[in-house]
């Protein structure tokens, strides 16, 4: 009987100990069967020579045999690699490297249990009068270990847990008040961490994602090249799109992401993001583009031997090996090692992008052309294209028509030493799409500000030239920094600044043009001795309109000065300070994003109400200039009066919104008070803005024309 009891402790049933599941199914369980939900080992009911007290002890003891059998079946199933030998791919879905690692730990525990059973057998054979207490005394400690392990594997099997979820489950089970069980679970967790450290080493040393079954918390994006075709419908992003022929760039932007369901709860999100960044950086450093590699080969003596020296890779590997060899997982040590590895990767990526690829030079070029820092070039371009832009653009030849004044401006203002200008390309999008979107904007503006504009505003709105954009060609590895999103945001700012500069130029040129006409007519009358009383009356009639033009020019000039000096130059200086002080590529990307966000927010491009008012003001200014140069009809005079009234309303609304405590007192626009001070230096705007938001129609700021 004792021998059959010992065999049952190793999972083998017989006449004394029976398996109720075998009796129900009439088939012995195989390793591939699912784990039983409850203990099925029982003493045979027909045994009568065992006392009830002994029966209770034996039935309690043989549960260890049931737990052993289930644990052994789980380990055998998880460690089964026969499908590799036969080339069968079907079981791959059920495979798990982390389960296999846990199974290795369970095998260690079961080997200790078998040794205890063997040692107990030797004691029983050596004892002339073996007693049942010897069995219970020898196996007492396993009543603490095997039942929780059985519950663990049952939960893993039932819920299909794998990957980082297994680590998470084990980490939760570690927190218990039983030292023996805690040590056992920690050993299982150690086996799971061995797999994780191997994956981390592959990812952070070589930039290779080794995750056959999708269990790592970093996963590869599938179908990212054509995931959303509608993404390219946006014109600005289509203009900013760069051709990426290098795999490392697509990997950097879209290739990999964090799989949060596989991220263990004891690894913070910022550490996981650091691991993701470090691996992507190593991947880029180890896989430079062929064009960059050929250029770098010519400057190898100056640049150094490798983008990632072998000594640095060995240093990263050593840190991971030290973590792997530790008997316990220490969160502080793990986070410190990850931060150090991330710093190494970020530093070498910074060296690649900032030093070798001349990041600052390209930033300066983008500032010159996208932020209109080369004012002489764009002034010349707008002057040369002024007559062209007075006409509606032709859909088929608009871009080609613009290239003529563009090349003239290049010839006059761009020197041959400018090595960055060759990367700049002028683009004119499809006219139909641009006009369609602009009409939507105008309709929104009418609903937001009241019906301030009549159908005449749509007549010139916008004249089709507002879609002028720039493209900037960037090579590897600058595409890591100048992403499609970044270039599209620069393009958006450029279109806004170009419209502002064009409006300012039209206000100046209209005055110049009309004054030349007036002087020409005066000279003609003086020569022909014609009575000029009618002409003098007309000049007197239009004098208030020149006051309106000056008000428009005053507002546009101050807005332009505010954006170019208070916003762009101040933020540029902040960015330059960060570039000089930082040696971390990720920090530079963050600083640059803050720089772009500050440009957009402090220029009010992200405030719908303000941007719509500014858009309306610029349209009114252009219409006013074009009408002023045509003063021959009565309809023109009426139209000028309407434009004057609309401008007064919109400018007063703009001042009212900008001086509100929500904007003027916030940190998003630190120099807004200077702008308001320049606008309202003589309290003119403050006085005329009174009652602008009331329902009652305010009195126009300028007196009506007297005829």
Degrees, nearest 5: CA angle 224-471-376: 155
**What digits encode the pLDDT tens for the residues 349-395?**
999 999 888 999 999 999 999 999 998 999 999 989 888 888 888 87
Does residue 231 register a pLDDT over 60?
no
Q: What pLDDT score does 212 carry?
A: 86
**With bands split at pLDDT 50, 70 and 90, how would you rate the model's confidence at 515?**
low
30 vs 382, more confident: 382
Average pLDDT estimate for 642-648: 83
Q: Is the pLDDT of residue 101 over 90?
A: yes
Q: Does 529 or 110 have the greater pLDDT score?
A: 110
Q: What is the mean pLDDT of residues 564-590?
A: 92
Does the pLDDT of residue 17 top 70, yes or no? yes
Quote the strand ranges of 201-302, DSSP E.
218-220, 256-258
Is the predicted pLDDT of residue 569 greater than 90, yes or no? yes
CB burial of residue 23 (10 Å; 0-12, 13-18, 19+): exposed
Overall average pLDDT of the 247-257 stretch: 73
Q: Is 226 helix (H, G, I), strand (E, B) or coil?
A: coil
Instruction: Provide the pLDDT for residue 295.
Output: 57
Reported as a single tens digit per residue, the pLDDT across 134-162 is: 888 888 889 999 999 999 999 998 888 88
Average pLDDT of the residues in 553-570: 90
Rounded to the nearest angstrom, the gap between the alpha carbon of residue 393 and the centroid of all alpha carbons in its chain is 37
Residues 45-65, mean pLDDT to the nearest whole number: 80
What's the DSSP call for residue 464?
S
Residue 125: which pLDDT band, with cuts at 50, 70 and 90? Answer: confident
Residue of 166, 221, 157, 226 lying closest to 195 (CA atoms)? 166
Whether cis (ω within 30° of 0) applies to the bond prior to 204 is no
Q: Of 198-212, 493-507, 508-522, where does mean pLDDT reach its minimum?
A: 508-522
Question: Which pLDDT value is given to residue 228?
Answer: 38
pTM for this model (two decimals): 0.75
214 Cβ neighbours under 8 A, 6+ residues apart: 163, 259, 262
pLDDT above 50 (res 653): yes
The mean predicted confidence, pLDDT, of the chain is: 79
Which residue's entry shows tokens 């980082």?
Answer: 164
Percent of the chain with pLDDT over 90: 34
Q: How confident is the model at residue 438 (pLDDT cuts 50, 70, 90)?
A: very low
Q: Compute the residue count for the chain.
A: 707
Structural tokens at position 547:
């006051």
The per-residue pLDDT for 373 is 92
Alpha-helical (H) ranges within 385-531 are 386-389, 398-413, 431-449, 455-459, 484-528
> Using 50, 70 and 90 to split pLDDT, how confident is the model at 216?
very high
Least confident of 11-20, 41-50, 232-241, 319-328: 232-241
Residue 699 pLDDT > 90? no
CA distances from 386 to 375, 381, 438, 506, 509 (A): 16, 8, 21, 8, 10
- Tell me which of 250-264, 472-486, 661-675 is least confident: 661-675
pLDDT score of 41: 79
Within 10 angstroms of residue 261's Cβ, the number of other Cβ atoms is: 11
Is it the case that residue 455 has pLDDT exceeding 60? no
- Highest mean pLDDT range out of 10-24, 378-392, 430-444? 378-392
| pLDDT score recorded for residue 465 | 84
pLDDT in the model for residue 336? 95
pLDDT, position 540:
60
Whose CA is closest to 285, among 319, 315, 252? 252
């Amino acid at each position: 009987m004792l021998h059959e009891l010992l065999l049952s402790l190793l999972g083998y049933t017989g006449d004394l100990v029976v398996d109720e599941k075998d009796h129900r199914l009439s088939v012995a369980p195989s390793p591939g069967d699912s784990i039983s939900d409850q203990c099925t080992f029982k003493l045979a009911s027909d045994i009568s020579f065992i006392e009830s007290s002994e029966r209770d002890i034996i039935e309690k003891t043989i549960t260890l045999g049931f737990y052993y059998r289930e644990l052994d079946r789980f380990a055998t199933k998880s460690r089964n690699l026969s499908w590799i030998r036969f080339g069968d791919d079907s079981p791959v879905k059920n495979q798990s490297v982390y389960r296999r690692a846990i199974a290795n730990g369970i095998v260690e525990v079961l080997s200790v249990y078998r040794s205890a059973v063997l040692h107990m057998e030797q004691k029983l054979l050596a004892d002339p009068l073996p007693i049942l207490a010897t069995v219970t005394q020898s196996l007492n400690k396993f009543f603490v270990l095997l039942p929780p392990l059985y519950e663990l594997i049952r939960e893993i099997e039932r819920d299909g847990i794998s990957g980082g979820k297994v680590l998470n489950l084990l980490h939760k089970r570690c927190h218990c008040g039983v030292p023996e069980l805690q040590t056992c679970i920690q050993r299982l967790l150690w086996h799971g961490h061995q797999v994780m450290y191997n994956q981390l080493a592959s990812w952070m040393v070589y930039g290779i994602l080794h995750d056959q079954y999708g269990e790592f918390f970093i996963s590869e994006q599938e179908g990212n090249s054509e995931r959303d075709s509608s993404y390219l419908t946006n014109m600005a992003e289509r203009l900013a799109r760069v051709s990426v022929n290098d795999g490392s760039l697509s990997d950097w932007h879209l290739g990999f992401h964090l799989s949060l369901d596989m991220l263990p709860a004891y690894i913070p999100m910022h550490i996981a993001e650091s691991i993701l960044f470090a691996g992507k950086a190593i991947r880029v450093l180890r896989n430079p583009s062929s064009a960059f590699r050929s250029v770098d080969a010519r400057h190898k003596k100056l640049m150094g031997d490798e983008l990632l020296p072998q000594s640095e890779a060995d240093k990263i590997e050593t840190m991971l090996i030290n973590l792997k060899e530790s008997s316990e997982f220490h969160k502080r040590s793990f986070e410190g090692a990850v931060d150090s590895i991330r710093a190494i990767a970020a530093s070498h990526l910074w060296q690649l992008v900032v030093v070798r690829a001349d990041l600052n030079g390209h930033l300066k070029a983008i500032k010159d052309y996208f932020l209109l820092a080369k004012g002489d070039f764009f002034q010349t371009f707008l002057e040369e294209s002024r007559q062209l832009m007075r006409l509606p653009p032709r859909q088929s030849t608009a871009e080609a028509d613009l290239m003529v004044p563009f090349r003239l401006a290049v010839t006059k203002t761009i020197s041959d030493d400018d090595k960055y200008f060759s990367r700049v390309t002028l683009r004119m999008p499809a006219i139909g799409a641009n006009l369609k979107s602009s009409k939507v904007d105008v309709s929104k503006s009418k609903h937001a500000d009241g019906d301030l504009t009549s159908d005449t505003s749509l007549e010139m709105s916008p004249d089709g030239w507002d879609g002028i954009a720039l493209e900037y060609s960037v090579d590897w590895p600058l595409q890591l920094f100048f992403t499609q999103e970044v270039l599209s945001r620069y393009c958006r700012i450029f279109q806004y600044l170009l419209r502002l500069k064009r409006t300012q130029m039209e206000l100046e040129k209209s005055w110049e043009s009309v004054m030349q006409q007036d002087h020409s007519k005066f000279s003609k009358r003086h020569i022909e001795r014609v009575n000029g009383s009618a002409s003098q009356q007309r000049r007197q009639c239009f004098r208030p309109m020149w006051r309106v033009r000056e008000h428009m020019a005053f507002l546009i000039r101050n807005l332009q000065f505010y954006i170019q000096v208070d916003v762009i130059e101040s933020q540029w200086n902040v960015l330059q300070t960060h570039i000089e002080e930082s040696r971390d590529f990720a920090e530079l990307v963050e600083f640059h994003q803050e720089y772009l966000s500050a440009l957009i927010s402090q220029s009010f491009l992200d405030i719908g109400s303000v941007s719509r008012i500014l858009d309306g003001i610029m349209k009114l200014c252009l219409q006013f200039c074009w009408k002023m140069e045509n003063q021959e009809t009565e309809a023109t005079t009426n139209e000028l009066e309407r434009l004057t009234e609309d401008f007064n309303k919109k400018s007063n609304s703009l001042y009212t919104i900008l001086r509100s405590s929500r904007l003027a007192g916030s940190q998003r626009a630190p120099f807004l008070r200077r702008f308001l001070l320049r606008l309202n230096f003589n309290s003119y705007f403050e006085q005329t803005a009174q009652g602008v938001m009331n329902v009652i129609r305010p009195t126009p700021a300028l007196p009506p024309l007297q005829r």
